[in-house]
Amino acid sequence: MFDLVVPGVYIFVSRSFDSNIGFLDSGSSRVLIDAGTGVYSNQLESALEQVGSSLGSITDVLLTHSHVDHIGGVVPLLKEASPKIHLHKVEADMINSGDMSLTLGQTFGADIPPMNIEGVLEEGDVLEFGNLKVKVMHTPGHSGGSACYHLEEEGVVYTGDTMFSGGSFGRVDFPTGDPRKIVESLGRLANLDHFNTALPGHMGPVIGTAKQSANSSYQMAKDWFNVG
Ligand SMILES: [Zn+2]
Ligand SMILES: [Zn+2]
């Protein structure tokens, strides 16, 4: 089920291989942030119903990156609705040219069919969904086009697989992963203003102490990869 973080801003913490799924509900926008593998789309549908929404009413999907555990859920969603899909340019360009290799679908036995990414994002873009403004941070390291989504006014960041709770962070051993870059990206989060709550792609949220937690992840990654 979705937990309310601040008005209009939700997180569904997964208990499976699925990514966590964020939800923004403001004005006429109904936005998913990541979509899980798609295996549990019935659960997603009932979770959305509990907050007065449905798969059919989704207007947008913001992907933090294109790994199968985040993008897979777009496939069943496209049978119910025609949302605009947003993803950082590095990975959107690959998918729009028909290259689905970075989804790792084949590795994990869940082939993702080609799809059209209409929202090709870059660092600093600001997306408006009703009253909510979402700033795009390009945070490579876990993958080349990994992004974090910053709701500055609310002090909330959807951190994808870049930063996790408890001083942990995403792995860098998949294609386009880069230890040096994830350290840099974690350093940006550790120094980010208007950052109280982190809503990561896996594991629980960090409420109230996100910046300190990002700093722990940053220090841990620096030591682990022996950089900086
Ligand atoms: Zn993931
Ligand atoms: Zn990932």
Domains (ranges, CATH) in the chain?
Answer: 2-225 (3.60.15.10)
Residue type at 15 in one-letter notation: R
Nearest to 52 by CA among 4, 89, 88, 92: 4
Cα(202) to centroid(ligand 1), Å: 6
Q: Are 189 and 1 in contact (CB under 8 A)?
A: no
Residue type at 91 in one-letter notation: E
pLDDT at position 100, please? Answer: 96
Mean pLDDT per block of 10 residues along the chain (228 residues) reads 97 94 98 96 96 97 98 97 98 97 89 96 98 98 98 98 98 97 98 98 97 98 90
Q: What is the pTM of this model?
A: 0.97
pLDDT at position 228, please? Answer: 67
Cα(216) to centroid(ligand 1), Å: 20
Cα(47) to centroid(ligand 1), Å: 20
Q: Which long-range contacts (CB under 8 A, 24 or more apart) does 172-175 make?
A: 172/141, 172/142, 172/225, 174/67, 174/104, 174/142, 174/143, 175/101, 175/102, 175/143
**CA 90, CA 23: separation in Å to the nearest integer?**
24
Q: Residue 94 has what DSSP assignment?
A: H
